[in-house]
């Protein structure tokens, strides 16, 4: 059983890793856009020349996002299944080390090819959140899982409070600017690499193994056929939950992959102040605060008083109603206030979806479940940025947000089918 010490260790490990992730994500699109437009190689020109794009840099920013997500989609279910067999601790350590090396590669380059290679490596080993979720729920009661998964969400939120703010500070510091000008090195990515390495060290030093030997033996004895995602889809009622996760993440990632570009395009000068990497970092920090407020506190109220199905429907509805207004809301408070229903709606839906899926999955298959859930979300992180950045580059900054709202709306329609499926599972 996962005791309090193990849960706190998991929380701190995820926080340190996501602090690095929070540093990278806000500035990655602007960073990729910048280096892609500085000097395109012949193969890059051949790739984009026939598309007649308005913004070539936005296209390559999307490719950088997609390269990570494609590999994560393939690898995360495999890592989740391996963690069922060998334990959470070694798989989590390998995943964190992969992130550290990937960030270090990005810190040292001004070539889009090396950035793509770094994101591919990070994607292959990027199953840390799925494994941490499985570790957090090991041995827990079904009714506790929304609260426990909320701890992971709170660590994610804290990383997104401090990380983006730190990204803005590091990118705009004299040291960061000096390293970039003199050597082409990126200080924020060095710090992100150090944090992931620290988290990996923390796993070895403090995190106990949460999966009991008995469950590991049972998982090895219960060999599944095929990719863990395909196995999960065969479980009655699971397909609805997995496809809701796919659609919700596709819509959210469409926003996430273009948000920095949208803010920069719309608010190049806000109140006479240039709107660059520093300001975008602070904007992401504000979103992180909202995530912490929900996952660190409100999720406990929601999980106790609102059934998972209702929470899923409510979260998706909030996202659908918010996304179309982002491209037109004026700076400052109308735009910032829209972040509240968007962030809380996303958190409500994702936590309830994962909790409901966990409740209907045997204990020895929790790693496979969260790996499959991570794969569907990874696919969403492929579809969302691909569609979003292409729409941004082709039709302007408003188009991705209308497409995102329609995508999440499909998930809302699908969520209406959950009740009968879940009833069948309880009787299974």
117 part of a folded domain: yes
Residue 256: enclosing H or E segment and its boundaries?
helix 238-266
For 294, 345, 422, the CA distances from 297, given in Å and listed in that order, are 6, 14, 27
Distance (Å, rounded) from C-alpha 116 to C-alpha 66?
9
Q: What is the pLDDT of residue 325?
A: 94
Residue range(s) defining the domain that contains residue 351 = 4-38+49-427
Give the count of beta carbons closer than 10 Å to the beta carbon of residue 172: 14
The DSSP result for 350-387, as a single string, is HHHHHHHHHHTS-GGGHHHHHHHHHHHHHHHHHHHHHH
- pLDDT mean over 369-395: 83
Query: What does the DSSP 8-state code read for residue 17?
Result: H
Inside any domain, residue 284: yes
List the single range of 25-29, 177-181, 239-243, 336-340 with lowest mean pLDDT.
25-29
In this model, does residue 107 exceed pLDDT 60? yes
pLDDT tens string 278-322: 777 778 778 878 877 887 678 778 877 888 888 999 999 999 999
* pLDDT at residue 158 in the model: 78
| Average pLDDT estimate for 186-190 | 88
Domain count, the chain: 1
Give just the sign of the alpha carbon dihedral 143, 147, 152, 157: positive
Please tell me the predicted confidence (pLDDT) of residue 423. 43
DSSP 228-253: HHHHHHHSTTHHHHHHHHHHHHHHHH
Query: How many Cβ atoms sit within 10 Å of the Cβ of residue 84?
Result: 29
Establish if 388 belongs to a structural domain: yes
Q: What local confidence, expressed as pLDDT, does residue 273 receive?
A: 53
Q: Is the pLDDT of residue 386 over 90?
A: no
Contact 339, 208 (CB under 8 A): no
Structure tokens at 49: 């020349």
Phi-psi region of 222 (alpha: psi -120 to 50; beta: other; left: phi over 0): beta
* Mean pLDDT for the stretch of residues 267-271: 59
The answer to the question of residue 44 being in a domain is no
The bridge status of strand 273-274 relative to strand 269-270 is: antiparallel
What span, in angstroms and rounded, lies between the C-alpha atoms of 405 and 407? 5
- 422 — pLDDT class (breaks 50, 70, 90): very low
pLDDT digits (tens, 9 = 90+) for 30-61: 777 777 777 667 777 777 767 767 677 777 77
Minimum mean pLDDT range among 56-65, 114-123, 185-194, 247-256: 56-65
Q: Would you say 32 and 261 are in contact if contact means Cβ atoms under 8 Å apart? A: no
The answer to whether residues 261 and 62 touch, using CB atoms and an 8 Å cutoff, is: no
Dihedrals φ, ψ of 357, to 5°?
A: -65, -40
CATH code for the domain in which residue 328 is found:
1.20.1250.20
Chain-wide mean pLDDT for the chain? 79
220-234, 340-354, 404-418 — which is least confidently predicted? 220-234
43 belongs to a structural domain: no
Rounded to whole angstroms, the Cα distance separating 310 from 315 reads 8
Residue 251 lies in a domain: yes
Residue range 130-150: mean pLDDT, rounded? 74
The pLDDT assigned to 405 comes to 96
Q: What is the DSSP letter of 222?
A: S
Q: Taking the CB of residue 236, how many other CB atoms lie within 10 A of it?
A: 13
Distance between CA atoms of 392 and 402, rounded to whole angstroms? 11
Q: How confident is the model at residue 337 (pLDDT cuts 50, 70, 90)?
A: very high
Whether 21 is in a domain gets the answer yes
Does the structure show a pLDDT above 80 at 344?
yes
């Amino acid at each position: 059983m996962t005791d309090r010490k193990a849960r706190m260790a998991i929380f701190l490990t995820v926080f340190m890793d996501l602090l690095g992730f929070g540093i990278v994500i806000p500035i990655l699109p602007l960073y990729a856009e910048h280096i892609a437009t500085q000097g395109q190689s012949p193969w890059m020109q051949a790739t984009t020349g026939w598309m007649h794009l308005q913004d070539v840099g936005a296209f390559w920013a999307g490719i950088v996002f997609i390269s990570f997500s494609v590999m994560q989609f393939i690898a995360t279910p495999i890592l989740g299944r391996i963690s069922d067999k060998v334990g959470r601790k070694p798989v989590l350590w390998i995943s964190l080390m992969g992130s550290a090396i990937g960030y270090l590669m990005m810190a040292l380059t001004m070539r889009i090819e090396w950035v793509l290679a770094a994101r591919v490596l990070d994607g292959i080993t990027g199953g840390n959140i799925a494994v941490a979720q499985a570790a957090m729920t090991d041995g827990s009661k079904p009714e506790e899982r929304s609260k426990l998964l909320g701890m992971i969400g709170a660590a994610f939120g804290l990383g997104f409070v401090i990380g983006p703010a730190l990204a803005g500070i590091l990118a705009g510091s004299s040291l960061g600017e000096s390293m970039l000008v003199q050597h082409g090195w990126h200080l924020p990515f060095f710090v992100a690499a150090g944090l992931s390495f620290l988290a990996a060290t923390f796993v070895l030093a403090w995190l106990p193994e949460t999966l009991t030997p008995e469950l590991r033996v049972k998982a090895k004895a219960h060999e599944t056929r095929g990719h863990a995602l395909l196995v999960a889809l065969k479980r009655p009622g699971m397909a609805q939950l997995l496809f809701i996760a796919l659609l919700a993440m596709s819509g959210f990632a469409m926003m996430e992959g273009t948000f920095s570009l949208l803010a920069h395009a719309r608010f190049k000068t806000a109140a006479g102040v240039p709107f660059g990497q520093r300001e975008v970092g602070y904007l992401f920090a504000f979103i992180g605060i909202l995530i912490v407020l929900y996952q660190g506190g409100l999720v406990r109220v929601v999980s106790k008083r609102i059934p998972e199905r209702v929470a899923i429907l409510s979260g998706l509805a909030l996202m659908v109603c918010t996304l179309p207004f982002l491209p037109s809301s004026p700076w400052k408070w109308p735009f910032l206030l829209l972040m509240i229903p968007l962030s809380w709606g996303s958190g409500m839906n994702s936590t309830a979806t994962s909790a409901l899926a966990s409740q209907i999955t045997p204990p020895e298959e929790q790693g496979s479940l969260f790996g499959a859930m991570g794969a569907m979300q990874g696919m969403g992180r492929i579809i969302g940025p691909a569609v979003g950045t292409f729409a941004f580059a082709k039709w302007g900054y408003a188009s991705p947000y209308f497409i995102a709202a329609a995508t999440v709306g499909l998930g809302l329609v699908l969520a209406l089918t959950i009740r009968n499926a879940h009833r069948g599972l309880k009787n299974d």
